[in-house]
Amino acid sequence: MKLTKKVMALALASCMAMSLAACGGSKPAETTAAATEAATTEAAAESTEAATEAETTAAEAAAATEGKDPAEIKVGISIYQFADNFMTLYREELQKYLVEECGLKAENISIMDGKNDQGEQMNQIRNFITQGYDVMIINLVQASSEPTVTEECNAAGIPVVYINREPEAEREAAWVSEGIKATYVGADARQSGTYQGEEIADLENKGDADGDGVVRYIMVQGDPENVDAQYRTEKSIEALTGAGVEVEELVKMRGDWDQTKGQEITANALSQHGAKIDVVFCNNDAMALGALQAIEAAGRKVNEDIYLVGVDALVEVVEHVMNGKMTGTVFNDYFGQAHTAADKALDFVNGKDVDNVYMVDYVKVTPENAAEILDLIK
């Protein structure tokens, strides 16, 4: 009950209706229509040939109605690393949805920790193949290893749903042209970067905390192999300069999505550049929480003499946005992403058409809507 309310609210918040309980809701209506159409065709059939064709259509419709018994479907999941705050929320939601909404048995869902090691993850994928899993949901350690993973899964006849770390666009196109059963479910990282930049540009002083005419910032990056890190870094600043703001980058360092690294990078930058820093951009909230520790330790005050933004909308961060300890964040809709990933995995198993890319919208989180977002995620 509570989940359904959340799902509906989230779908509304991000204007995304597509992930709405596809495991429960949309199927019956679709299949009833297909069956009716087939029955009508059959009744109208004049020749034996036409009748046979209609029977086949009816049989197909009936098969599509039933699909494979969810209680028998085995899903192999590998997450790039369990020690990642955001991917932990994602993974828990994915498992919950597969069991509670899609009817899978918990023991038929295997979720492995890739431990940030591509070799380790490759072994897990090969084990899924050996054990005859029906479908995989893979959060790659390195997006660049997608061709190998796809090739091995495809050779074994196992479809793959990639999540969170987007493979190359040419590869996504190749899945279509080569008829490979693979898809990517994620969110367009450009949007999250733009939203971060806009949150700063929308401030009365456009982020120029010391009022000297230039917004000087530090950029705490995720893992730069990941397009999320690349685009958030690029687009946040583009949104700011696009709003007519003059900027200067003081520091750009990789923090690998990690809170401790976010704290260290920000502490060093503060001791090197001190009051010159107007804005701390973090590619995610975990690093922003680290940055906040460093900012407070340096005696600075967010929203007074420095600004701080992240991405993900972790509960703690949304609370900080409400109480003014952080300037803003961007909701990375793991409900929508997890549900779509699960739905597409089951569509593959049931022989339905699956597109090559599905994107779920991000949502800006500012003091105006933070309470509303908190209500949805808590």
Q: Which of 95, 233, 259, 332 binds ligand GAL (CB under 6 A)?
A: 332
330 is an interface residue for ligand GAL by CB under 6 A: no
Q: Closest separation between CB of residue 118 and ligand GAL, Å?
A: 13
Return the number of the residue (124 or 284) whose C-beta is nearest ligand GAL. 284
Question: CA 180 from chain center: how many Å?
Answer: 22
Binding to ligand GAL, residues 248-287 (CB under 6 A): 257, 284, 286
- The residues with which 328 forms a beta bridge, in sequence order, are 309
Strand ranges, E, within 222-374? 247-254, 279-282, 307-309, 329-331, 357-359, 363-365
Q: Closest separation between CB of residue 375 and ligand GAL, Å?
A: 21
Q: CA dist 260 to 159, 181, 213, 256, 279, Å?
A: 37, 39, 32, 10, 19
Q: Closest separation between CB of residue 188 and ligand GAL, Å?
A: 11
Q: Closest separation between CB of residue 332 and ligand GAL, Å?
A: 5
Q: Closest separation between CB of residue 172 and ligand GAL, Å?
A: 17
84 is an interface residue for ligand GAL by CB under 6 A: yes
Q: How far apart are CA 335 and CA 316, in angstroms?
A: 18
Q: Closest separation between CB of residue 164 and ligand GAL, Å?
A: 5
Which residues have CB under 8 Å from 117's CB, separation 6+?
141
Cα radius of gyration rounded to whole Å, the chain: 23
What dihedral do alpha carbons 362, 364, 370, 374 form, nearest 10°?
Answer: 10
Point out which span in 5-13, 170-178, 220-228, 356-364 binds ligand GAL (CB under 6 A).
Answer: 220-228
Q: How far apart are CA 131 and CA 244, in angstroms?
A: 57
- Which of 374, 335, 344 minimizes the C-alpha distance to 97? 335
Return the number of the residue (92 or 248) whose C-beta is nearest ligand GAL. 92
Return the number of the residue (36 or 260) whose C-beta is nearest ligand GAL. 260
86 is an interface residue for ligand GAL by CB under 6 A: yes
**Tally of CA atoms within 13 A in the half-sphere of 153 that contains its CB:** 28
What's the maximum distance between 2 C-alpha atoms anywhere in the chain? 85
Binding to ligand GAL, residues 286-305 (CB under 6 A): 286
331 is an interface residue for ligand GAL by CB under 6 A: no
Q: Closest separation between CB of residue 52 and ligand GAL, Å?
A: 51
Point out which span in 43-51, 80-88, 108-116, 174-182 binds ligand GAL (CB under 6 A).
Answer: 80-88
Q: Which of 38, 79, 87, 342 binds ligand GAL (CB under 6 A)?
A: 87
- Which of 286, 293, 367, 276 minimizes the C-alpha distance to 327? 367
Question: CA 259 from chain center: how many Å?
Answer: 19
Q: Closest separation between CB of residue 56 and ligand GAL, Å?
A: 44
Binding to ligand GAL, residues 309-328 (CB under 6 A): 311-312
Q: Which of 228, 258, 264, 278 binds ligand GAL (CB under 6 A)?
A: 228
Q: Closest separation between CB of residue 41 and ligand GAL, Å?
A: 46
Q: Is 202 helix (H, G, I), strand (E, B) or coil?
A: coil
Binding to ligand GAL, residues 104-133 (CB under 6 A): none
Is residue 266 within 8 Å of 283, Cβ to Cβ? no
Site size for ligand GAL, by CB under 6 A? 14
Binding to ligand GAL, residues 177-216 (CB under 6 A): none
Edge-to-edge order in the sheet of strand 357-359: 109-113, 75-79, 135-138, 160-163, 182-186, 357-359
- Tell me which residues touch ligand GAL (CB under 6 A): 84, 86-87, 164-165, 222, 226, 228, 257, 284, 286, 311-312, 332
